[in-house]
Structure 1
Amino acid sequence: MTPSFHSLKIRDCRRETDDTVSIAFDVPADLAERYRFIQGQYLTLKAVIGGEEVRRSYSICSGINDGELRVAVKKVPGGLFSTHANDGLTPGDVIDVMTPMGRFHVPLAPDQARTYLAFAAGSGITPIMSILKTALAEEPKSRFVLIYGNRTVSSIIFREELEDLKNRYLGRLVIHHVLSREPEEAGLLSGRIGAGLVKELCGTLVDPATVDAAFLCGPQPMVEEVRAALAEVGTPPDRIHLELFGAPTGAKPAARRPDPVDSPTDAAAVTVLLDGKRKEFALPYDGDSILEAAHRHGADLPYSCKSGVCCTCRAKLREGKVAMAENYSLEPWEVEAGYILTCQSRPLTERVVVDFDAT
């Protein structure tokens, strides 16, 4: 089903750290099915701030059986939406929330004894919390190893909840905190999460070759370094799943590229399929991305980051060719199957058809 926005009332705002708030939403009964989520998915929130429409994606931190829909928002210096969420939102406020999206998960297997491994930094813990709580509750024979990096003890998001979970799942949940600015804190690792730590911990906590699923969430340099280190010590690459928070290093809206254009015209005829409707418009080959042009012509396409990270604007290329400038979220099989990020794509042929209704 095509993702769509609905106005939801905020049920609860809970202060997790000095700069992070978690927000739970009331979901009306008639929308319950639309907001049923898979562990590891995210919500895109939309608000008008200072006269400007702002959209941001935040991961769901609830387990699938927690009975609530909750996201966590960490305040970013200069962040328009994160500042608004931390300082301005209160219970009873109404905000536009897109239906859940994202593929940062693996299917549950209640009859299996799996080994999960996760590396998170800062607010990267948010989707990991959803995955961790769900896996431990739904797979009673599985175990979970979490390595969680922060600057200080006070900046550990969900610290008390993680301790409660460790006590509830004794022997099945192992948590190691890594602090970069409190090296003397008793019982906690110091430094940062990187290749060296991966190799050290994998030698004592878990056999990397037997890991059924590894989840990495944090800034791009950490995620890429940990992914490479895990592969080096024997974790099969197809079992390593990653998600970046924020924009990757150097990420930006699709830049104009000198790809050869297979057309005698100056503009492509673009057709966008969404909710069974068609929107057609001309798009110069050196002009906007397909997403930007479609919005300019009145099509309300789903999007959030516009940097190739969130995958909200994913669609299937039904006809023609495009140049995709960046891709931080589509899996290789999706690219092979013809899926594109419309925020990063420009036409290369005289006719291009993209389908947002394709599953």
Structure 2
Amino acid sequence: MTHAVDLTVSEKRQLTPSSVELTFAVPEELHKSFAFKPGQYLTLSQEIDGDKVRRSYSLCSAPHQNTWKVGIKKVDKGLFSTWAHDIIYPGASIKVFAPEGKFTINPGPDDDQNYLAFAAGSGITPIMSMIQAVMAQAPRATFTLVYGNQSPEHTMFLKELEALEQLHPDRFKMILFYSRSSVPGTRFGRIESSSIKHLFLNDLNGTLFNQFLLCGPEQMIQTLKEILPEQGAKAENIHDELFFSTSEQAAELKQGQCALTIVLDGENTVLTVDKNTPVLDAALDHDLDPPYSCQGGICSSCIARVTHGQAQMIKNQILTDAEVAEGLVLTCQTLALSDELTVDYDEA
């Protein structure tokens, strides 16, 4: 499904002083289109103060629960998150795109893996879906969560996670870090290099982990990507989703214009654009409706395939080298290098 549908917010629940959980009522006829894997997200679209705004929020419910819930943390100057936190109410309608995302797992009866997840702040939302799925659908698997926040009051899903730990004491373990609160039974500080190494020498020592799931700010993920291989983790078993990006990669801007052909919904549209204009921006400027969400290169909503010409990405923290070699690009980050460029959304 490439177009959004109107869904009703059936429930709004306050999780912390700065975060809410929204539940969407998905009609039965859309259940197949909205089927999802643990870890995927929904893209929400809403007109706010005269501007159409899209944002992606991870599903925090698990597929077997047959519910569609997202967790939204209010961020400073965040247009959509502020609207969702302060304005939206049960019974309201929001345009929602079908679930997508590559940060997923596939637990089942034969799954006997040991999962290790690191999350910070709202990075818990996709991990929450994964934990519930593993506990319900993979009785032979275990799950260890290392979870960082400022304080218990600002910890999303704390009560639910504690309940899961009590229900599955042999299969689910949680290690909490608080940067601004000293709480018995938890760690004081952040999930950083020294604390991660200390965990592997102590709490995590003796368990052979098979899958590593990382979700949160860029610095935490980069640190973990450096340390985990030292602890025996294979690169193909380390999966991450970036929630906050601070890095800016420099791209060599090309002068001149490009004949850009955009293939979308079976139609070819030819545009004349500056080579230093991202493909997605060019499409939106010409009133096309390609899939997109974050516009910052940290989700996968705007993926397309370059089928003719040459292009470069300003930054890429989603696609693998193999996918890039196949021509896949994040169009919000894609600049033309050649005088002609064809980008196909339908073949992505």
What TM-score bracket applies, with the shorter chain setting the length?
Answer: over 0.9
What do you get for the CA RMSD once the two structures are aligned? 1.8
Q: 2:246 aligns with which of 246, 249, 257?
A: 249
Q: Within 1, Cα distance between the matches of 2:191 and 2:274? A: 45
1:208 Cα shift? 8.6
1:250 Cα shift? 3.6
Q: For residues 95 and 208 of structure 1, do their structure 2 counterparts lie closer, same or farther at Cα, with a shift above 3 Å needed?
A: farther
The aligned residue for residue 272 of structure 1 is 262
The aligned residue for residue 340 of structure 2 is 351
The aligned residue for residue 285 of structure 1 is 275
Q: TM-score, normalised by structure 2?
A: 0.95
The aligned residue for residue 335 of structure 1 is 324
Aligned residue for 1:357, secondary structure, equals coil
The aligned residue for residue 214 of structure 2 is 216
Whichever residue aligns with residue 316 of structure 2, its letter is N
Q: For residues 333 and 205 of structure 1, do their structure 2 counterparts lie closer, same or farther at Cα, with a shift above 3 Å needed?
A: farther
The aligned residue for residue 235 of structure 2 is 237
Unaligned runs of 5+ in 2: none
**Contact 1:209–1:236 under 8 Å retained in 2:** no
Whichever residue aligns with residue 166 of structure 1, its letter is E
Q: Within 1, Cα distance between the matches of 2:202 and 2:251? A: 48
Q: TM-score, normalised by structure 1?
A: 0.92
Q: Within 1, Cα distance between the matches of 2:94 and 2:291? A: 16
Q: Within 2, Cα distance between the matches of 1:138 and 1:151? A: 32
Q: Within 1, Cα distance between the matches of 2:337 and 2:200? A: 46
Q: 2:253 aligns with which of 239, 251, 258?
A: 258
Whichever residue aligns with residue 249 of structure 1, its letter is T
Q: Within 2, Cα distance between the matches of 1:270 and 1:132? A: 43
Q: Within 1, Cα distance between the matches of 2:195 and 2:64? A: 33
Q: 1:306-336 CA distances to partner (integer Å, 9 max, x unpaired)? A: 1111121111111111021111211222112
Whichever residue aligns with residue 189 of structure 1, its letter is R
Aligned length: 348
The aligned residue for residue 74 of structure 2 is 75
Aligned residue for 2:65, secondary structure, equals coil
1:204 Cα shift? 3.2
**Contact 1:270–1:281 under 8 Å retained in 2:** yes
Task: Quote the sequence identity (%).
Answer: 37
Q: Within 1, Cα distance between the matches of 2:108 and 2:195? A: 29
Q: Within 1, Cα distance between the matches of 2:36 and 2:316? A: 24
- Whether 2:226 is the aligned partner of 1:228: answer yes
1:109 Cα shift? 4.2
1:210 Cα shift? 3.2
Q: For residues 209 and 329 of structure 1, do their structure 2 counterparts lie closer, same or farther at Cα, with a shift above 3 Å needed?
A: farther
Unaligned runs of 5+ in 1: none
Q: Within 1, Cα distance between the matches of 2:301 and 2:49? A: 24
